[in-house]
Amino acid sequence: MQVKVNVFPLTAFGDDVRGLQSHTGEELDALLPSVLDRAFKGEL
């Protein structure tokens, strides 16, 4: 019983981290074309 009580918050934390990672990946994917455009124009 004690192990189950201790593990549940860790699995919830892992789910939260995976959600943040997914969201961050989507933001980076959206920024990539802009960064590449600026890089090829010599603005970086």
6-38 pLDDT, tens per residue? 788 888 899 999 989 988 988 999 999 999 999
Amino acid identity, position 6: N
Instruction: Specify the pTM.
Output: 0.52
pLDDT above 70: residue 1 = no
* pLDDT level of residue 42 (50, 70, 90 thresholds): very high
* pLDDT level of residue 40 (50, 70, 90 thresholds): very high
Whether the CB-CB separation of 44 and 35 falls below 8 Å is answered with yes
Alpha-carbon gap, residue 20 to 9, rounded angstroms: 16
- Which of 2 and 20 is assigned the larger pLDDT? 20
Largest CA distance in the chain: 61
Token digits of residue 44: 């970086």
Residue indicated by tokens 């990539």: 32
Alpha-carbon gap, residue 9 to 27, rounded angstroms: 27
